[in-house]
Amino acid sequence: MFNRTTMAVLVAALAAGLGLWAANAWFGERPAPGPQLQALKLFEAPRELPAFSLRQADGTPLVPGELRGHWTIVFLGFTHCPDICPTTLAQLAQAQRQWDALPDSTRPRVLFVSVDPERDSPDRIGEYAHAFHRDTLAATADIPALEDFARSLSLVFMKVPAPEGAPPDQYSVDHSAAMAVLDPQGRMAGVLQPPLDPRAIAADLATLTTTR
């Protein structure tokens, strides 16, 4: 006969199982069927993104239609970032160099989105991103638009005030280290999380480009 302790354990286990099932069903984050990938985690069902409008480094708008036709890695960051952003973009650039032989019409892309529009002008983010790789796209927007865009990708960022005694413009910005992966239809299809392996990233995206 079950005692109360045993019943409580079973109820807790059932609740945990149902919670996991509900989370997977809601967010669609079960592994997708298809080619075996090393670095990327694809969702079983890609998520449509709500409308957004960012501003590219050349001043032109970046809207959902601009991201169609390519697999795209979206990375949030800012140019004053002391370490994580340059390290991440350098690692992604290693992967990008391995895609140089792929046709430009389908070649995977990296999109760097600055979440520090107060200091990062379109010109600045363009120069910054292209210093890592010529194909890296760069964009930003005002804070409300950036918050909406980040939220749609399940990413976050937050301004951190400057240390006491430092000039106000010496603030930092905390942001997600994970990156969103968009499919050629412009939907959020998966995530890429650190630590990053450029060779694995390059192989995964090359595989997806030639099979989907």
CATH number of the domain where residue 151 is located = 3.40.30.10
Residues 40, 125, single domain; the answer is yes
Cβ contacts of 34 within 8 Å, gap of 6 or more: 42, 211, 212
Looking at this protein, which amino acid is placed at residue 206? A
Residues 10, 40, single domain; the answer is no
Cβ contacts of 186 within 8 Å, gap of 6 or more: 49, 64, 65, 67, 68
Domain hosting residue 16, numbered range: 1-30
Average pLDDT over residues 60-71: 90
Query: What pLDDT, on a 0 to 100 scale, did the predictor assign at position 55?
Result: 95
Residues 66, 4, single domain; the answer is no
Residues 98, 117, single domain; the answer is yes
Residues 4, 97, single domain; the answer is no
| Residue 134 burial (CB count, 10 A) | 10
Residues 21, 47, single domain; the answer is no
Residues 11, 49, single domain; the answer is no
Residues 54, 73, single domain; the answer is yes
CA distance linking residue 105 with residue 144, whole number of Å: 32
Residues 154, 194, single domain; the answer is yes
3-state helix vs strand vs coil in the chain, percent to 5: 40, 20, 40
Task: Output the six-digit token pair for 210.
Answer: 């030639």
| pLDDT over 70 at 6, yes or no | no
Residues 150-181 have pLDDT tens digits of 999 999 999 999 999 899 999 999 999 999 99
C-beta contacts of 31-37 below 8 A and 24+ residues apart: 32/189, 32/190, 34/211, 34/212, 35/207, 35/208, 35/211, 37/204, 37/207, 37/208
Residues 8, 83, single domain; the answer is no
Residues 16, 51, single domain; the answer is no
More confident residue, 23 or 106: 106
> What is the pTM (predicted TM-score) of this model?
0.83
Residues 20, 79, single domain; the answer is no
Residue 37 CA, chain-centre distance (Å), reads 17
Number of domains observed in the structure of the chain: 2
Looking at this protein, which amino acid is placed at residue 209? T
Task: Output the six-digit token pair for 103.
Answer: 């046709």
Query: What pLDDT, on a 0 to 100 scale, did the predictor assign at position 32?
Result: 52
